[in-house]
Amino acid sequence: MMIAAASSTLLQHVSSVSVANIVRPGFRSLSAASARNLSTAAAAAAASSSPRSLSAAQSDTRVLLGLSEPELQQLAVDLGQEGYRGKQLHHLIYKRKVKEVDDFSQLPKAFRNVLQEAGWKVGRSPIFRTVTAADGTIKLLIKLEDNRLIETVGIPVNDDKGLTRLTACVSSQVGCPLRCSFCATGKGGFSRNLQAHEIVEQVLAIEEIFKHRVTNVVFMGMGEPMLNLKAVLGAHRCLNKDVEIGQRMITISTVGVPNTIKKLASHKLQSTLAFRYTNCHSLHASNQKLRETIVPSAKSYPLDAIMQDCKDYFLQTSRRVSFEYALLAGVNDKTEHAVELAELLQNWGRNYHVNLIPFNPIEGSDYQRPTKKGVLNFASTLEARKVTVSIRQPRGMDASAACGQLRNQFQKSPLLTDSEISPPPETELAVAC
């Protein structure tokens, strides 16, 4: 998960597109298996976005979180109140961050009763667990209304004056359907898409834990954002307009899903597009053959197609594309791989940035973390060929919260009742370096 590399509503959810349209007509060399793999992931995400796939309680709940100020004003009017009550609702939800309608003390009791009788809730979920790393990174498990658990991570940056930046790394799905070979989340399976308010509440939960405003948001947690674009872009709008986080401070990442980059570019958002490492990977290889051995969906989205879409994205948005490259010892970290990667990027222009991410060990994986010398050599090889490069510093590894380490033992099966699983106190969960 974490700050991985690689955003107001799409007219059509990507996962609702037919398989024939998801895989480009030009990709006639695709194997049937490749097409089936990608379509299965898209179909799973599409099915999970249907209200029928959610619990009855969840699908019937009317949620205030995620609504804009004009929408809240209209809601107030629809419920027989003055429009300014909607402004008060907006302030209570996004400024004071009140979690329960009962606690809207600034509103008349009669209005609170009307909201509750009409089935309206704020839409905030309880924090089930927290795990704190030695570097201050905190991973949260948030229990959703259907008892599914999702992970989100708060990453603080401090200087002599205190906390200067707080990044929220948010999930877009419960689990992930893309099953990249080196990713802990992919190994845990996929349950469903998140709704927009379930994404937004992760940011508010991080603010609650740190008692500090979130300055940056990265969609690099559990799941593939491009398979849940409608909710992701709804959350993006809310985070920008209502929570007031600048678009340039928001990064939407993707492993790469055919036909989605152009749609994203059409919105001309000022947020960063990152082809990423965390739950799934995009490049992570300097050639198509090697990439297919690492990323299961690579056959459905060849490198040349990715690069063409990234070039078009830059031309439409003027926003540089960032590529996350996970360095796997002995697999894709050799000098010849760096040379090949530099040539690939230079063939498609110079408006790219490479973020190198040394592999973070996960349980059950045969991949190894490269040596520091190997990482520095890979970076210097790229720099010598005029490729802008940075090296990701690991955060939260001791709390299993660094890139690629997200894993949730409850992904496949939701909690049954609150009493069946009692979360241990935070002190028992924290892991020392």
Residue positions annotated with a catalytic role: 151, 403
Sorted by sequence, the CB contacts under 8 Å of residue 105 that are 6+ apart come out as none
Are the C-beta atoms of residues 213 and 207 closer than 8 Å to each other? yes
CA distances from residue 147 to 127, 342, 421 in whole angstroms, order as listed: 12, 46, 11
Are the C-beta atoms of residues 119 and 62 closer than 8 Å to each other? yes
CA distances from residue 126 to 113, 129, 141, 145, 406 in whole angstroms, order as listed: 23, 9, 9, 9, 19
Q: Which residues are 163's β-sheet partners?
A: 158
- Name the one residue in this structure whose structure tokens are 């055919």: 258
To 10 degrees, the CA torsion angle through 83, 87, 92, 94?
Answer: 140
**Separate counts of helices (H) and strands (E) for the chain:** 15, 14
Sorted by sequence, the CB contacts under 8 Å of residue 277 that are 6+ apart come out as 4, 5, 284, 324, 325, 326, 355, 357, 392, 403, 404
Three-state DSSP state, 339: helix
Structure tokens at 249: 């401070």
CA distances from residue 190 to 101, 121, 156, 228 in whole angstroms, order as listed: 32, 27, 29, 13
Three-state DSSP state, 221: coil
Distance of CA 393 to the CA centre of its chain: 19
Of the candidates 142, 124, 112, 147, the one whose C-alpha atom is nearest the C-alpha of residue 63 is 124
- Name the one residue in this structure whose structure tokens are 């690099």: 220
